[in-house]
Structure 1
Amino acid sequence: MMDLAMDQIWLLMATQLVALLSPGPAVMSLMQQSFAHGRGMGLRFGLGLGLAATIWASFAFAGLSLVFAALPWLFSAMKIIGAAYLIWMALQIWRSADRPVVEVSQHKVMTGFTGGLLTNFANPKAALYYSAVFVTIFPDPLTLSSQAAILGVVFGMEMTVYTGFVLIFTTPQARALYIRAKSIVDRLCGATVGVLGLSLLINR
């Protein structure tokens, strides 16, 4: 980590915090999963989100943004696939709005991790985001150990923020409010994720 300065790390953490606190498919889906299925599901969903984001960040180091620039059709194809997944997920959330809250099975808990993974994989713009952030904050060449340290910071920030959200969303008071307003909350979350999916599809 000799080629990294602490002010760069702090700047990366601040940038990540702002990005993570901005409402998007990840946060809205995490909220709905945590409200509906409890802390275990929320934490697993958050783990999937964090791992996918870190993989996108590693792709940025590997030069994926350059591949997208050379092969724009690949970027468009990935956006279409990602948008289709987000729209499908939005429909599932919307359709579940009038269903009662039930205890989640072990199978569904495992699906929570997969769902989080796919949700953040659905947006290939993440690779462009990390490429821009890394070039801006770390303009000099980085060693592999420094890149690994940066990826560790990215994953740590992802998990810290998502875990905080889950702990808030799964308090007894929050879940009680959700149960009373489940239909409204689920439709709001589903509509938000759907709009974000459509925007990913339209802005090609």
Structure 2
Amino acid sequence: MSAFSLEGLVIGWVALLAAAAAPGPNLLAVAASALGNGRRFALAVAAGVAAGTFFWALAAVLGLTLVFSAYPWSTDILRIAGGVYLIVVGARAIRAGLAGNAALMRNGAASASIGNSFLRGFVVVGTNPKAMLLWTSIAALVVVPGMPLAVAVLFAGVSMAISFAVYAIYALVFSLPRLRAGYRGFANQLEIAFGAVFCLFGARLLASR
């Protein structure tokens, strides 16, 4: 008898698909980058989110999330780091919008890079304890005693592919010329709005226990 459940894996992937499609910091980061910087940068953010998904998926099925649960202070560190990061990103966006600088989610077009965009996506999902809780729940559906490492890596790899596919679609949609043209007409106002939402996400993360 195989030491894994195909049905469990599929259920886990479906749960991930539903979570990825829902609004949240990941989607906001991709949309903001697509509108402000363009398709390539948004796809890099999507790739970073996907890499973060791989990290959490593999950690969950290997039981590493149980370590976080056993040591609550480690989760607090992660929560505080993630909350502060989101607030800093949001504050920068608000400041740029108030200054009249149409540079959503970046320090200026000249400083934007694929690497920084990728890192932003990874940090947004990698420092979110709610992602850990999601994957702990999914792991309960997926993990069975004696699951081979190869199956765990396969599960994480497919999860990464699903995550990238979802956010790549968002990146392509929000980088459409018509949407970007509309964004340019209200760049500063939208930058302030995106910044405020990021600050809200960060504050909620800091307030959560």
Task: Give me the whole-angstrom Cα distance separating, in 1, the residues matched to 2:142 and 2:58.
Answer: 16
Displacement of 1:186: 1.8
**Identical-pair percentage:** 25
Assess, with a 3 A threshold, how the Cα gap between structure 1 residues 19 and 79 changes in structure 2: closer, same or farther. Answer: same
Q: Which residue of 1 aligns with 2:101?
A: 99
Of the candidates 163, 169, 192, which is equivalent to residue 164 of structure 1? 169
Letter in 2 for 1:93: A
Q: Which residue of 1 aligns with 2:65?
A: 65
CA contact (8 A) 1:26 1:116 kept: yes
Q: Which residue of 1 aligns with 2:77?
A: 77
Task: Give me the whole-angstrom Cα distance separating, in 1, the residues matched to 2:13 and 2:62.
Answer: 21
Task: Give me the whole-angstrom Cα distance separating, in 1, the residues matched to 2:112 and 2:23.
Answer: 28
Matched residue pairs, number? 203
User: Is 1:123 the equivalent of 2:125?
Assistant: no
CA contact (8 A) 1:101 1:179 kept: no
Displacement of 1:196: 1.1
Q: TM-score, normalised by structure 1?
A: 0.90
Letter in 1 for 2:61: F
Displacement of 1:107: 5.2
Displacement of 1:36: 0.3
Task: Give me the whole-angstrom Cα distance separating, in 2, the residues matched to 1:77 and 1:9.
Answer: 30
In the alignment, structure 1 segments of 5+ residues that lack a partner are none
Task: Give me the whole-angstrom Cα distance separating, in 1, the residues matched to 2:175 and 2:145.
Answer: 43
Of the candidates 178, 182, 194, which is equivalent to residue 189 of structure 1? 194
Letter in 1 for 2:150: S
Assess, with a 3 A threshold, how the Cα gap between structure 1 residues 179 and 105 changes in structure 2: closer, same or farther. Answer: same
Q: Which residue of 2 aligns with 1:90?
A: 90
Secondary structure, in 3 states, of the residue corresponding to 1:158? helix
CA contact (8 A) 2:65 2:136 kept: yes
CA contact (8 A) 1:178 1:185 kept: yes
Displacement of 1:101: 5.2
Task: Give me the whole-angstrom Cα distance separating, in 2, the residues matched to 1:50 and 1:105.
Answer: 25
Assess, with a 3 A threshold, how the Cα gap between structure 1 residues 28 and 127 changes in structure 2: closer, same or farther. Answer: same
Secondary structure, in 3 states, of the residue corresponding to 1:26? helix
Assess, with a 3 A threshold, how the Cα gap between structure 1 residues 197 and 28 changes in structure 2: closer, same or farther. Answer: same
Q: Which residue of 1 aligns with 2:137?
A: 132
Task: Give me the whole-angstrom Cα distance separating, in 2, the residues matched to 1:99 and 1:120.
Answer: 27
